[in-house]
Structure formats: structure tokens, C-alpha cells
Structure 1
Amino acid sequence: MARTNPERRQALLDASIEVLARDGARGLTFRAVDKEAGVPAGTASNYFANRDELLVQTGHRYYERLIPSAETMGKLQGPRTRETITELMTEVVERVSGFRTGYLALLELRLAAARRPELQALLTQRVRADLDFNIRNHLTAGLPGDEHTVALLYLALNWLILERLTLPGIFTEEQAAELVRVAVERSIGSL
């Protein structure tokens, strides 16, 4: 029987993110999640029917934790300039990079998705919805560029985040900030 305590469920999913980031997908067991969450053995198995469900729900939790703030979303109402986009993209890179274990867990989920069709379907749907949300917001706000601008920035900045989290010596903070600016400039083209 699945438990319905939402705070406990979130704590277990947050613990799953930490386990995935530290131990990889193979290390994600109910026992490891219980230990990370500091709950009695068997707790996670009361909330998730099986490991696949735990993987899928962990993917959902990652995205829940990365929802942009109202302040960030409010910037879409600001000036419709390249500088506004640069500011928004810098915020995204910082927000995602700031949740290091979450991003590393997502990478583990993506690797596991190559072997688990249900997880692949979830991540495909979730990432596509996220990209569509960003494209819609960009176009609705009247920011410079088009849907290809958003897709190119998504691809470029995700790799920048990966470099910052896995090989932090590749780019300094200043270089990373400059790369965000250049990515925005080049994806928009001349105005």
C-alpha cells in the first residue's frame, strides 16, 4: 500500500536524487534511499511500488525543484532585448548549476532511460514540455529570436552546465558568463 504523506514522499525523492548523484543508477535501492533520508528500513518501499516507479518519480521531483521563481518569470515582462535574454540565461545556468546533485542525478536518469522505455518516455515528455514552455514564454514575451534561438540556447547551456559540474576546471566563472553572453548573441543573430 502506497503511503500518502507528501512531506515524507518528497524527502524520499530528495534522498533518491542524492543517492543517484553519489552512487549512480545502480546504487539507487530502497535501502540506500531509506538510509539517505534517515527513515526506518522499508519506508521507501511503502511509497513506491518498485524501483522503476522510484526512478520516474525522482525525475519528476528534479523538475519540481527547478521551477523558476516568480521574480525570474517577471523578467519576461521587462525590456525585450538581448541583454534581458542574457540575464535570464545566466540565471538558468546558475540555478541549475546550483543544484549540482540534481543535475548529476538527471544525467544518471538519462543514462538509465536508454535501457528503460518507461523512464525514456517520461524524460522525453518532460524535457519536451520544458522546452515547449520556454519557447512559448520566449515568443509570448516578444523577446528577440525565435524557437530555434531557444533550442540552441537549451543545447549550448546544458553542455556548459555539464562542464561546470563535472569538469569545473575547464571554464572559469568569468569565461562561463562570457560564453552565456556569446551563446545568446550568436543564437539571436543581428537585430
Structure 2
Amino acid sequence: MARNAERRTALLDAAIEALADEGARGLTFRAVDARAGVPTGTSSNYFRHRDELLSQVADRIFVRLTPAPGDVDTALLPPPSRALLVELMRRLAQRLATERTCYLGLFELRLEAVRRPELRIQLTKVLRADLDENIRLHLDSGMPGDADTVRLLYFALTGLLFDHFTVPGLHGDQGLDDLIESVVTRIVPEP
């Protein structure tokens, strides 16, 4: 069977759906084939083993979660401020909510990485590069705070979104936008 990039992408997207819906144990070649609507055995022609599939799923999740070229530059056009950071964090939360399946798949990958050292190495590399880029953008744009501010925002938003996607009623009537504003206001120093 001829391999092609579009089919590989469709298989990876199907794998993300399986991972988000069924967890790591439900991510099988058969499940990927069924979700992608391809003949049984197709995904095993693209991925030699499950670890390779998991690693490529991690890469695909970050491709899907990465903003379109130019979006970051446009978002950073207003003068740096705490208010702009609130707006940027809200946009990020909206993007992750739009890609909810990817974000849930990422949580599943994190749990699976506890048991798979190769996946842990790959996931750490990808997450570190993303965090480093966010720190660089924050500092280069002149936003209030330092590298630790970005790390604290990362920790807070990751936990907040985990709650939002898994136990949405945990915070009562407080909406996600209000919680984000509260987090940013408490973490980011006034310029």
C-alpha cells in the first residue's frame, strides 16, 4: 500500500480522538483504523509499533495546538500590560477548548509517559520547547513579569483547564474567563 502524508495525518487525528475518548489503553491500531474509516491493518502500515504511534500523536497534537503563523504577532500588537495578558490567556483557553480532543489527548499522553520512558523523553522535549518559546515571547514583547511569571501562568492555566475539561462544575458559577482574570491578576505584577 502506498503511504501518503494526508492518510498519515488522518490516522494521527483518529488516534488523538481514540486517546481522548478511550484513554491510552483504548488506543489500538484497530481503534485508529475504525475511527479513520480505513481498512483494518492500515495504521500498522504507517506506524511500526504502538510507541511510534504515541510519539507521533504527541507531535501532531502540538501541530494542531500551535497558532496560525502571524496570530501571535498580531495578538502582541497592543502595548504590553496585565490586561493584554488576561486577553491572551482567554484566547489561549478558547483555542484549547476548540481543540478539546487534543488537549484531553495530551493529558492522556502525560499519564502514559509515566510508564513509557521514551514517550516521556519525547513529550518533555516538546513541552519544554513550547514553554521556552512562551517565555521568550513574553520577555521579548516586554510583558510585565519575568520567566517565573510565565511558568506560574503555565502551571495555573494547565490546572484550571484540566478542571474545566474534566470536572467543569468544580468552581461553581465562576466562569472560565473570570477565573483566568483572577489568576493573571494575582500572578502578574502591575507594570
Q: Shorter-chain-normalised TM-score: which range?
A: over 0.9
In the TM superposition, what are the counterparts of 1:37-186 in structure 2 within 5 Å?
37-69=36-68, 70-171=70-171, 175-186=175-186
Within 1, Cα distance between the matches of 2:80 and 2:183? 17
What one-letter code is carried by the residue in structure 1 that aligns with 2:44?
S
> Under a length normalisation based on structure 1, what TM-score does the superposition of the two structures give?
0.94
Unaligned runs of 5+ in 2: none
Q: Secondary structure at the match of 2:175?
A: helix
**Native 8 Å contact 2:82 2:190 kept in 1:** no
Within 2, Cα distance between the matches of 1:183 and 1:177? 10
Q: Which runs of 4+ in 1 moved over 4 A?
A: none
State which drifts further: 92-101 or 27-36. 92-101
CA-based RMSD? 1.6
Within 1, Cα distance between the matches of 2:173 and 2:108? 25
What one-letter code is carried by the residue in structure 1 that aligns with 2:59?
H
- Cα deviation digits, residues 110-130 of structure 1 (max 9, x gap): 111011111000111111110
Deviation of the 1:180 alpha carbon: 0.9
**Native 8 Å contact 1:20 1:28 kept in 2:** yes
Unaligned runs of 5+ in 1: none
Q: Secondary structure at the match of 1:17?
A: helix
Q: Does 1:31 align with 2:44?
A: no
Within 1, Cα distance between the matches of 2:97 and 2:73? 18
Within 1, Cα distance between the matches of 2:9 and 2:76? 30
Deviation of the 1:39 alpha carbon: 0.4
Aligned residues: 190
Deviation of the 1:168 alpha carbon: 1.3
Within 2, Cα distance between the matches of 1:148 and 1:186? 13
> Under a length normalisation based on structure 2, what TM-score does the superposition of the two structures give?
0.94
- Cα deviation digits, residues 25-73 of structure 1 (max 9, x gap): 1111111100000001111001001000000000110000011133344
Deviation of the 1:174 alpha carbon: 5.2
Within 1, Cα distance between the matches of 2:79 and 2:174? 24
**Native 8 Å contact 1:138 1:150 kept in 2:** yes
Q: Does 1:8 align with 2:3?
A: no
